[in-house]
Structures are given as structure tokens and as C-alpha cells.
Amino acid sequence: MLLEELETLYLREVATLGRELDLYPDEGSVWKELPGLPNPAGTLFLHLASNLQHFFGAVLGKTGYVRNRAAEFSRRDVSRSELRQELSRAQQGVRAGFANLTEDRLEEAFPAIFADAELSTRLTLLQFLSHLAYHLGQIDYHRRAVTGNSASADAVAASDLIKRLG
């Protein structure tokens, strides 16, 4: 049951990333740098898509994805179309990862080491979800600051969650 709920939350957040991207009026605004913000939204889209493809797709789902973390933070002016494709691949990676998980594996060590520490898969999945939500909030703030548009991407709409859990 927990796996189904976690997968639903992850897929909801990836869908929200797509809605955030759609709310940017043009390519340039996605990449606009703002004083005090370490990364433009484009960088965060790339980082999150790659993070999900790596840890869910490659590590858990055995998709063969090879991460280039440096490129996540150095690439610029990637088109919104390409960012959408990366988000679609991230969604596929999330599905592949959860397809290979069982409730019993949640208490086992996650098959990657972080800061020389071994964490349970359950705790790692919760940490990754928090990481995703943190950066999603940064993207939302960036979009509103750049565009002056306070429209909501319905990031945490309970109605969406209820529909997804059916």
C-alpha cells in the first residue's frame, strides 16, 4: 500500500513539473537568472528529471540510464520541448523503479550510498520525495518572480491525489 501511495505522489509531482513548465510564456523565461536564486528553473527541471531517471530508472528499474550530473547544472537554453521530453523520461523512470519494488524491500538498504551512509529504501524514497517537493517549490517561486503571473500549477491539490488513488 505504501508503495502505491508513494508512486502516486511521485507521479503527481512530475505532472506538476510539466504544468509549471507550461506556465512559462517562453524559452527565455525558463532560463532567466534572478539575484539571490542559485539556479534558474531550467536547471532545476534538468536536475530533477535526471535525478529521477538515475535513482528510479537506472538504480531501481535497471533502465541503463547514465547520469551526467555536471551537465544538469551547466547546460543552458535547453528548449521547453526537450525539457518536456526529459520530464516524460523521468516519469517512465519512476514507473520502472516502482515496478521493481516490493513492500519487503522498503526496509532493505537502498542500492546506493549517500555520504558514506547506508539508508533504508523507505527512508531514501521519502528523502527523494522531499527533495523533489523542495525544488518544485523553487521552480514555482522562480516562475512567479520571472513572469509576474501568480497562477497556480495546483502543486498539492488534494483532488488530484484522490483521483490518482481512485
CATH number at residue 48: 1.20.120.450
Burial of 86 (0-12, 13-18, 19+ CB in 10 A): buried
What does the pLDDT average to over 49-72?
96
User: Quick check: 162 pLDDT over 80?
Assistant: no
Helix (H, G, I), strand (E, B) or coil at 117: strand
Give the global pTM: 0.93
Q: How many residues does the chain have?
A: 166
CB of 128 within 8 A of CB of 13?
no
Are the C-beta atoms of 81 and 43 separated by less than 8 Å? no
Domain boundaries, position 26: 2-165
Asked whether residue 161 carries a pLDDT value surpassing 70, the answer given is no
pLDDT reading at 65 higher than 80: yes
CB atoms within 10 A of CB 124: 20
Average pLDDT (32-55) is 97
Structurally, the chain folds into a number of domains equal to 1
Task: Read off the pLDDT band of 110 (50, 70, 90).
Answer: very high
Span 33-44, average pLDDT: 96
